[in-house]
Amino acid sequence: MKLTPSAGLAALCWTARLASAATGHVYILDPARPQSHPSGEARRLHPVAARVVLAQRAGVEDYHSADLGDDSVRDAVNEFGVRTAMFGAGDGGMRQRAMVLVEGVEDAGAQLPSLQKHTAFALDPAPAARALWRDLARQARPSTYAPLDDAETLDLLSSPQTQFGHHHDAFYIAASPTDFAALLSNPKITANYAITAYLSPPNQAHPADDSTHQSSPWGAYTLPPKSSLHTKRLAPGRPQKEAPLEPPPHRSSSEQTEGLAPSLAKTNTNTTTTPPKRLPGILPQCFPTLSLCQTLTRNCSSHGTCTKKYTDASASSSSPAKQCFTCACAPTVIERGEGRVQTTYWGGPACQKRDVSVQFWMLALFSVGLVFVIGFAVGELWTMGRQELPSVIGAGVSGPVKRG
């Protein structure tokens, strides 16, 4: 069979299209970073080098240090990584990190033309990155994501309202290029976050349940243990996470049974009760699903129940902001005997903190009142001491007699 020129040209066009479809692009959207490639074709990186660059920009390069011995990897990190200045806050200033994965992008120039003015590099080949984004989130915030399974972690990463606006780094998996474009149109996000976006080509398998990352095209790296409660040390100048309160004092088994729900009060009181784990970090005020609310708050720390707060009728049915589930806290009442009752009120997004607002206002108002009374008394004494004596007191006293 003889190949005609038109058929050969068509084959070359399809080969070029397949080659471009199999290429992914990483864009760095940071106003504090100058553009590296104002014109011409972006530099191409191997997936291993690109993974180390992504990990360095996510602040978890310690888990990927095994590949830093390669000169090409070090050059890629030096060119596209976060630059830390000797004096000052560095490349991103006070901005939070936002690692965004956008899947199914056929032509970034046509679908997202605003990205062309930012720093970029290409990946050839471009593997699927859901498992990598899941692992980066677990490395950055192990206390939040390590205890969750793969499905729960990916469900949380796909919700923008639980990722942005809570004073921590965001790891977001956009559902489509349209969602990413809507994200870029939000001035609060673009002003407060240094965004690193990976635009992967379409028609890729998503090995979300593949935990054998040692054989991944991205290369080998380590993960924190699932039982880890370690919190990564933040860089200087970054906002610190809110410290949890100390757990309540130990109570007897009978008192613990009285304070629990009826379904939990049937357990054996002779067994030793393990204190619940703390909830580190800052939790969102709203959760898109009831299961996420119960999982991330550990069923509201057994001090309440997850309930639906509101439903946004204007949002689409597939939007994660359609519903809002929050914890409704309930007071814990303990009978101390002889008619004495101890009531503890709870607050916080997971009902994990004691509500001491009443005690605070009583102490604050008493302190202010006491200062006012003392100041008023001192002022009255000072005013009385500066008054002149009446002239009647010295009326019968004569002056000195002049002697001749």
Q: Strand 340-344 vs strand 170-174: parallel, antiparallel, or unpaired? A: unpaired
Given a contact cutoff of 8 angstroms between Cβ atoms, the answer to whether 37 and 44 are in contact is no
The verdict on residue 1 lying in a domain is: no
pLDDT at position 184 is 87
Question: Could you check whether the bond before residue 288 is cis, i.e. omega within 30 degrees of 0?
Answer: no
Determine the structural domain holding residue 308 and report its residue range: 304-374
In the block, which residue shows the tokens 């009181």?
269
The mean pLDDT value for 241-248 works out to 42
Beta carbons within 8 Å of 323's beta carbon, 6+ residues apart: 288, 289, 308, 310, 311, 312
> What CA–CA distance (Å, rounded) separates 99 from 172?
6
Top-ranked range on mean pLDDT: pick from 67-71, 165-169, 386-390: 67-71
- DSSP letter at 189? H
In a domain, 148, yes or no: yes
For residues 365, 366, 368, 372, the Cα torsion angle rounded to the nearest 10 degrees is 130
202-215 b/e (C-beta count within 10 Å ≥ 16 → b): eebeebbeeeebee
- Contacts for 69 with CB less than 8 Å, ≥ 6 apart: none
Please tell me whether residues 193 and 315 are part of one structural domain.
no
User: Can you give the pLDDT at residue 32?
Assistant: 66
Examine the domain organization and report whether 211 and 308 are in the same domain: no
In a domain, 323, yes or no: yes
- Residue, of 90 and 176, whose pLDDT is higher: 176
pLDDT tens digit string along 171-188?
Answer: 999 988 888 888 888 888
Is 116 within 8 Å of 109 (Cβ atoms)?
Answer: yes
Co-location of 198 and 56 in the same domain:
yes
**Do 288 and 321 form a contact (C-beta atoms < 8 A)?**
yes
Ranking 25-39, 55-69, 311-325, 359-373 by mean pLDDT, the lowest is 25-39
Extract the runs of DSSP E, i.e. beta strands, from 346-402: 346-347, 353-354
Structural tokens at position 243: 């410290």
User: Of 175, 195, 215, which marks where a domain is finished?
Assistant: 215
pTM, full prediction: 0.55
Residue 317 forms part of a structural domain: yes
Mean residue pLDDT of the chain comes to 75
Q: What is the pLDDT of residue 284?
A: 83
Question: 187 is written with which tokens?
Answer: 């001035």
Give percent of the chain above pLDDT 70: 68
The 8-class DSSP code of residue 287 comes to: B
Residue 391 C-alpha from the chain's centroid: 77
In a domain, 64, yes or no: yes
Q: What total of structural domains would you count in the chain?
A: 2
Query: Which domain-ending residue is among 186, 215, 244?
Result: 215
Q: Is residue 230 part of a domain?
A: no
208 and 93 in a single domain? The answer is yes
pLDDT tens sequence across 329-369: 999 888 877 878 888 899 888 898 888 888 889 999 999 99
Mean pLDDT score, 308-312: 88
Residue 318 lies in a domain: yes
pLDDT tens-digit profile of 190-214?
888 889 999 988 866 554 444 445 4
- The confidence score (pLDDT) of residue 333 equals 87
In a domain, 346, yes or no: yes
